[in-house]
Chains A and B, each alone.
Chain A
Amino acid sequence: MPKFIPFLLAGLALPFLANAQDSETLTVYTHPSFAAEWGPGPGVKEAFEQQCDCTLDYVVLESGGDILQRLRLEGSSTGADVVLGLDTGTMETARQTGLLTTHNIGLDALDLPVDWNDPLFVPYDWGYFAFVYDTEQLPTPPESLEELVNSPDDPQIIIQDPRTSTPGLGLLLWMKAVYGDQAGEKWRALSDNILTTTKSWSDGYFSLFMNGEAPMILSYSTSPAYHMAIDKTDRYQAAQFKEGHYLQVEVAALVEPSDQKALAREFLQFILTPAFQRHIPLKNVMYPAIDLGDELPEVFDRLIQPEATLFIDPAEVAQQRQVWLDEWLNAMIP
């Protein structure tokens, strides 16, 4: 027992010592699931610091939206060199701030289901939105979005609010990509199946889904990988839908006002190497952005393989988001 007392004291003192170092420091704004003890953050930090002779510091904000908001609030005096944790839903808004600059690195190593040559954003992982279901409650899940929409009021699903959550917005775009102008009436048809709409993914997954409240929840096609590899259970699986699945790409970018641009570019380059990417599959529970070959954990072969990748150009999403949100609201509020 006594051996961890110094450790505890160090924990108390850490906030005051955080800036006491000589070498260069790269500050990365990110969100909790990346920087958490169990996320890829610590491993990535260690690997990068070994090669750069610098210190990598994370500033952890609540979500991708918060990273963007913090950036906007700080403007040109921001302390960030790199932002990591924006996604295809927020990157256009981020582009419009004018606070990001070109990465100037080669993207040939990328292995995404879509073509990617964005000058600002470097993808670091990706995944499909999917409904994860509990095989004990629901032996035969719907095989298509259409089947789910048309089923009277069973199975019940838990979704997240597109106004406050990334997967929530993902489903909104998924419905839009599949149904176009009919999305509104399809939402109305789907609403009988919606048990509730939570503020965040965590609220729904922890409070409701893991308590057995509903057999299905909006999540990622990669979620079962975690349960299979770490929890050692096949109980939770993703339902494969015939229409295809909507793609989410998570990205990093270089911050314009940064005075560490060279180091920041080195980090962005590092993102596309196995030293970074090997931490993604089981720690961020997403697909790596490059081909990891044999290093990709075996459970990833057992995930669903969508027949089609649905993706709406982020610029169009940014332009239409408010209209689509209003359409959703009108459909859901009787």
Chain B
Amino acid sequence: MQRSLSGSFPAPLSRPAWQVLPGLIIASVLLALTLTGLAALVWRAPLPAVSELWENRYLANVIRFTVWQAALSTIISLSLGLAIALALVRQPRFQGRSLLLRIMELSLVLPTIVAVSGLIGIYGRQGWLTTLVGDWTFASWDLYGLSGILLAHVFFNAPLAGRILLQTLESVPSPRRRVASQLGLRGWWLWRTLDWPAIRSVLPALCALVFTLCFTSFAIVMTLGGGPASTTLEVAIYQSLRFEFDFGRAALLAMVQLGICGALWLLVMRRSLTHDFAPDRRFAEIIRRPDCRGATRFRDRALLFTFSLFLMLPLAAILLRGLPGLATVAFEAGDPLFDLANATLRSFAIALPAGAFSVMSGLLILTLASRGRAFSKISSIASALPLMVPPIVLGTGLFLLLRPALGQPSEGLALVALINGLMALPFVTQLLKGPLTALDENTLHQADQLGLLGWYRWRWLHWPRLRRPMALAMAYGTALSLGDFGVIALFGTPGQPTLPVLLYQQLGSYRMELAAGTALWLITMLLLVFAAFNLASHERGQRKRSENTIETLTEARHA
């Protein structure tokens, strides 16, 4: 029997196996699901010749276009995101800053059909802005085509990039910022010494994330792309699987997608630049940057104001369109209210466990990463996988594998929660990585000496730091599942819709007004999720303040 040094019983869960096994199991499950999903497809039908990829003009075009639009979207989203992050870091007292941050969080989880409706309400042919601009100037634009795809992708991804970059920029140690401030560094020099070193480490992984999101984009590309010339690989996979039942071709295309996105992630990892996307959100005192006044101040505020409008106008369009529908739901006698309430409850019954599962598995996978290089690789690949494997391929593989075991509809719903949880993993791990790995060697060493192991280590060392990031991660996990339509549609619902399914049912039955109401309700629920978890993480303000005091003390010593 192994006993701890102090002679008492070992701390609960302190065996090394406990820190490796659960994470390893989840990572292996993810890898196995992907491989068996693909294998199940290939087993049903042989792979077509690989040469079809470049010999078939259509497929070659699809691949070229997919890469091209994803690369452009990534460049624009990241540039805009960076400009916004810099402006926000220069102007910490910008009015409406926290509202802007919430909305930046929201944009990633908006269901596409809803977001597209909002974007069209503003930038479409009959949109507010198009009409306004058309009335006052001679300028006009055509939304449909590459420009529409880029606009939508920037709408979804620039806020994500900005949010992550902002946290990185804010994590620059205070002494550095103070020195920069005292030296009065400006322009290029400030960028070179302060900003660039901070974002350099996040940029590659952020690029890979945004690129993968745009690469796998589907309904947006079709609706706003204007025609079949704008087709992504995901569309071709869907087509082969749903309409042509050509499993072999679907598997081949899925492998191409995995290959391209996977290569990018591997490249990012090889340069070992993967870095936490969301560093500690501990805002020490505000140190004024030398470049926050004068013309810059005006320019920053103008930029932030415009960006807020860019994000909020489509939401306003959804609000205006949805209000009459919600009024109908509320005042019309009969079922709509029950349906909505029921669907809301059912959605949360799936989304909350999904969120919890994603946070838990995210933590376990990350714990794995600290146990050596090989484990670290497995953990990074596994947590990026759900982004790269087309859900429809994953789902079909799963279905083929689990079918004999799938009896009850409730088991189907549990499976939906599980898959939703896994889909949120790439975002959740990025949010938790920083705080989990931010502890320095000394602290860890000291903790070891004190016998602060296992459960106690988690409770007293990690939990206080992880409380807030975990709340945000939980919010993302829950919200992503709440807005999910793909996975739930794949497994079929026994006549009992979740919110997104209800939305599609209303659309299918010409209930456009009700559908607009449901869309508004869904967005309200998403915002509520973010607000609630944000609030929950703020409860213990005292702890945060005490942390700050220690920091301030050490800073004073360094300064």
Hey, which bits of chain A sit against chain B, CB under 8 A?
Answer: 4, 7-8, 11-12, 14-16, 18-19, 29, 31-33, 35-39, 41, 57-63, 65-66, 68-70, 72-74, 77, 93, 161, 163-164, 191, 194-199, 202-208, 210-214, 223, 226-227, 230, 283, 285, 322, 326, 328-329, 332-334
Contacts and interface: CB of A to CB of B under 8 A. Distances in A.
Nearest to B512: A210
A250 to B, nearest CB: 13
B1 to A, nearest CB: 44
A333 B341 contact: no
A73 B335 contact: no
Given A60-B494, A195-B144, A207-B117, A332 B228 contact: yes
A251 to B, nearest CB: 17
B335 A11 contact: no
A288 B516 CA distance: 29
Interface in B342-361: 342, 345-346, 349
Given A199-B219, A211-B117, A212-B126, A36 B508 contact: yes
B515 interface: yes
Contacts of B505: 32-33, 35-39
B215 interface: no
From A7, A77, A163, A332, name the one whose CB has the most chain B CB atoms within 10 angstroms. A163
A69 B241 contact: yes
A223 B223 CA distance: 21
Contact of A211 (B121, B224, B238): B121
Contacts of A32: 501, 504-505, 508
Contacts of B151: none
B495 A60 contact: yes
Contacts of B243: 65, 163-164
Interface stretch (B27-35, B183-191, B400-408, B546-554): B400-408
Interface string B476-509: 0000000000000110111111000100111111
Given A12-B345, A164-B238, A73 B403 contact: yes
A33 B493 contact: no
From A11, A14, A57, name the one whose CB has the most chain B CB atoms within 10 angstroms. A11
B410 A33 contact: no
B492 A60 contact: yes
A163 B489 CA distance: 19
A212 B324 CA distance: 17
B227 A202 contact: no
A252 B490 CA distance: 21
A69 B245 contact: yes
B102 interface: no
Given A37-B339, A39-B509, A199-B218, 8 more contacts: A15-B409, A16-B408, A32-B508, A33-B505, A195-B226, A210-B512, A212-B126, A333-B61
B375 interface: no
B396 A203 contact: no
Contact of A39 (B58, B409, B508): B508
B116 A203 contact: yes
Contacts of A328: 228
Contacts of B509: 33, 36-39, 283, 285
Contacts of B337: 4
Main secondary structure on chain B at its contact with chain A?
A: helix
Contacts of A211: 117, 120-121, 124, 126-127
Given A60-B492, A197-B228, A199-B218, A208 B242 contact: no
Contact of B126 (A4, A63, A213): A213
A196 B126 contact: no
B228 A206 contact: no
Contact of B242 (A164, A206, A213, A223): A164
From B229, B243, B342, B396, name the one whose CB has the most chain A CB atoms within 10 angstroms. B243
B226 A196 contact: yes
The 8 lowest CB-CB distance pairs between A and B, nearest first, are A33-B508, A36-B505, A202-B507, A11-B342, A62-B489, A212-B126, A38-B509, A15-B410
Interface string B127-162: 100000000000000001000000000000000000
A207 B410 contact: no
From B224, B228, B404, name the one whose CB has the most chain A CB atoms within 10 angstroms. B228
B507 A11 contact: no
Nearest to A225: B510
B124 A213 contact: yes
A282 to B, nearest CB: 10
Interface string B358-393: 000000000000000000000000000000000000
Contacts of B241: 69
A202 B504 contact: yes
Nearest to B224: A196
B409 A161 contact: no
A197 B227 contact: yes
A132 to B, nearest CB: 11
Interface residues of B, number: 68
B512 A69 contact: no
Given A15-B409, A69-B242, A37 B335 contact: yes
Given A18-B408, A196-B223, A4 B341 contact: yes
Contacts of B222: 161, 164, 197-199, 203
A16 B494 CA distance: 11
A15 B238 CA distance: 29
Contacts of B533: none
B223 A18 contact: no
Contacts of A14: 496
B463 interface: no
Contacts of A195: 125, 144, 226
B510 A196 contact: no
B492 A73 contact: no
B293 interface: no
Contacts of A16: 408, 410
A198 B230 CA distance: 11
B349 A12 contact: yes
B242 A333 contact: no
B353 to A, nearest CB: 13
Nearest to A29: B492
A61 B489 contact: yes
Contact of A73 (B219, B239, B400, B515): B400
26 contacts: A7-B341, A8-B341, A8-B342, A15-B413, A37-B509, A59-B494, A62-B489, A77-B404, A163-B235, A164-B242, A197-B227, A198-B222, A199-B218, A202-B504, A203-B222, A206-B117, A206-B507, A207-B117, A207-B120, A211-B124, A211-B127, A212-B126, A326-B58, A328-B228, A329-B58, A332-B227
Given A15-B409, A205-B512, A194 B494 contact: no
Nearest to B124: A213
Interface in B502-527: 504-512, 515-516
Contacts of B219: 199, 203
A96 B143 CA distance: 42
A18 B58 CA distance: 46
From B113, B242, B337, B505, name the one whose CB has the most chain A CB atoms within 10 angstroms. B505
A199 B410 CA distance: 30
B469 interface: no
A18 B245 contact: no
Contacts of B515: 206
A281 B496 CA distance: 24
Nearest to A5: B341
Contact of A15 (B225, B400, B496): B496
